[in-house]
Structure 1
Amino acid sequence: MTQELSILATIKQHLSDMTDLEREIAEYFLTQDLSEKALASQQIAQELHISQAALTRFAKKCGYTGYREFVFDYHNCIRQQEAPTSTINYGVTKRVLSDYAELHQQTLRQLDEAQLQRIAQMLEEADRAYFYGVGSSGLVAREMKSRLMRLGVVCEAMTERDSFAWTSSILDSSCLVFGITLSGETEDIISSLQIAQKKGAKTVLLSTKTFSEFTESITIASSRDLNYGNRISPQYPFLIILDILYAYFYEIDQPRKAEIFKNSWNR
């Protein structure tokens, strides 16, 4: 299913460059299980009540020379996933896995490794770290605490709005504060991070939006309706970044951290 995953991710990658009509065509290919016969340009045109020229323009928006080349790739994808005796609904499977592939591709395009190295160093130097998040983002905050405390980080996950206020009273320049919000519009997270910044703490925002006022702002990958969690977990793109950040942090004084990690499991 690798090729199929790739072509669906490619379609999604170019959605923002498409016209409304081209997005309708894209939605059709993303949600339908189409046989080889059903891929004929005339049949697709009749089904969607569009011209064959519109299909050509759609294929070119996806990076192909024309609809015929697009169909060739799409057909290869279908052949790879065919399993006549299987009861698996590949239509559902491919939509979920293509969302994962899209998030991977976005993360790779947006990733700033130098930035993550800087943040890893900030973690190394901080006396205490705090992770702010509510709802689904609160689960990410707890995961960050669980992972990093096993490497010796003195840290706490703050997942209740009331806890943000009292935490701010003990912040100083030795602290590092992470704010986690997919939309970038969770007022309690943004305002609490702003307070932490004024207190002299270093601040890191993880969000789909970028805020230049904080020490670092990591851009998180997203897909359509990810915040609703109706197809894949909205925590997923955060966890990708967390794993990479964890790896960079682990590399700093690795022998010491390996010993700390080992001892944390032996207790």
Structure 2
Amino acid sequence: MEKYTRSIIPVIEYNYENLTTMEKTIADFFIKNKKRVDFSAKAVAERLFVSEASLSRFAKKCGYRGYREFIYQYEETFQDGRKKPVQGSMARVLDCYQEVLNKTYNLADETKLRRISRMMRKAERIFVCGVGSSGIVARETELRFMRIGMNINSLIERDMIRMRAVFQDERSMVIGLSMKGETKEVRYILRKAHERKAKCVLVTARNNPEFREFCDEIILVPGLDNLDNGDLISPQFPMLAMMDILYACYLDQDQSMTKAFLQDTAEALRESVQEV
């Protein structure tokens, strides 16, 4: 059974938008702070150039009776032995997610992921394909990479995956998502794309040597079959975690360019909201 640390940081975070500008300054300090310092009202007020009354108002907006109660809870995060075992349904779910993350750490090959991210940067168009829960990952992957300027499309309908297979060429890249590697449509598009000289990557929980026949790279993710409570967590979680690592590797290649794209897409969304 894993042990988890109780923290009031999430409490601050979900109250953040209700705070004034000054109170957000206080919140930022407590969220970002990683070490024990003098947390007395006087010391923190002097450090942040705010009044002690502001600290009290901030604490109350976070649901505490005052700054003293808030800081008592906050300081407990730094105490040895603060980690406590979790019981019941919560423990089963959280322990399962933690096991998946540990397995992801052991399976993630950063050198390979950087190699794949370079393939993605060179490709003129990318298709990420999956059905069912893998389709959810495909759609999320499209949205993530589209925001940084990538020409990427998700294919989640079986017939559409098959139809798109014949349009691949050496300028294309196909990323297939299938936990067991048995989804017929995903295998079909990877084979056809490979025959047409496209770069092909399969994300799967099965290390089947047959995949090497039609894939340039295989990204292995943890399976849920051998987890005691694998049926309690979302089946797409292992793939989402690994694709997030791939996304991070891609961002590392050219941070200035990707940050510019992110700012542009964020501005476009803000303009859309204002128009409504």
Query: How far apart in 1 are the matches of 2:187 and 2:165?
Result: 13
Alignment of 1:68-217 (within 5 A): 80-81=84-85, 90-210=87-207, 211-213=211-213, 214-217=215-218
Amino acid in structure 2 at the alignment position of 1:212:
R
Query: How far apart in 1 are the matches of 2:248 and 2:91?
Result: 30
1:99–1:223 CA contact under 8 A, matched in 2: no
Secondary structure of the 1:151 match is coil
In the alignment of these two chains, the number of paired residues is: 187
Going from structure 1 to structure 2, the CA distance change for 1:209 and 1:203 (only over 3 Å counts) comes to same
Query: How far apart in 2 are the matches of 1:223 and 1:265?
Result: 35
1:102–1:223 CA contact under 8 A, matched in 2: no
Alignment of 1:58-77 (within 5 A): none
Deviation at 1:245, TM superposition (A): 0.6
RMSD: 2.3
Amino acid in structure 1 at the alignment position of 2:223:
S
What does residue 222 of structure 1 align with? 223
Q: What is the TM-score of this pair, normalised by structure 1?
A: 0.66
What does residue 232 of structure 1 align with? 233
Deviation at 1:2, TM superposition (A): 4.2
2:179–2:203 CA contact under 8 A, matched in 1: yes
Amino acid in structure 2 at the alignment position of 1:218:
I
Deviation at 1:224, TM superposition (A): 2.8
Deviation at 1:167, TM superposition (A): 1.0
Query: How far apart in 2 are the matches of 1:151 and 1:209?
Result: 30
Query: How far apart in 2 are the matches of 1:101 and 1:240?
Result: 12
Per-residue displacement from partner, 1:71-112 (whole Å, max 9, x unpaired)?
xxxxxx9x9347xxxxxxx31111111111111111111111
Give the % identical residues. 34
Deviation at 1:225, TM superposition (A): 7.0
2:126–2:172 CA contact under 8 A, matched in 1: yes
2:201–2:217 CA contact under 8 A, matched in 1: yes
2:249 counterpart of 1:248: yes
Going from structure 1 to structure 2, the CA distance change for 1:260 and 1:223 (only over 3 Å counts) comes to same
Deviation at 1:3, TM superposition (A): 3.6
Deviation at 1:4, TM superposition (A): 7.7
Query: How far apart in 2 are the matches of 1:144 and 1:4?
Result: 30
What does residue 17 of structure 1 align with? none
Deviation at 1:229, TM superposition (A): 7.2
Secondary structure of the 1:142 match is helix
Alignment of 1:14-33 (within 5 A): none
Secondary structure of the 1:178 match is strand
2:2–2:95 CA contact under 8 A, matched in 1: no
Query: How far apart in 1 are the matches of 2:179 and 2:232?
Result: 16
Amino acid in structure 2 at the alignment position of 1:106:
K
What does residue 54 of structure 1 align with? none
Q: Which runs of 5+ in 1 are unaligned?
A: 6-76, 83-89
Per-residue displacement from partner, 1:226-246 (whole Å, max 9, x unpaired)?
7x9740001111111111111
Query: How far apart in 1 are the matches of 2:157 and 2:194?
Result: 20
Q: Which stretch shows the higher mean deviation, 104-113 or 143-152?
A: 104-113
Q: Which runs of 5+ in 2 are unaligned?
A: 6-80, 269-276
Query: How far apart in 2 are the matches of 1:157 and 1:95?
Result: 33
Going from structure 1 to structure 2, the CA distance change for 1:130 and 1:91 (only over 3 Å counts) comes to same
Deviation at 1:165, TM superposition (A): 2.2
Per-residue displacement from partner, 1:212-259 (whole Å, max 9, x unpaired)?
221000111122377x97400011111111111111111112111110
2:224–2:230 CA contact under 8 A, matched in 1: no
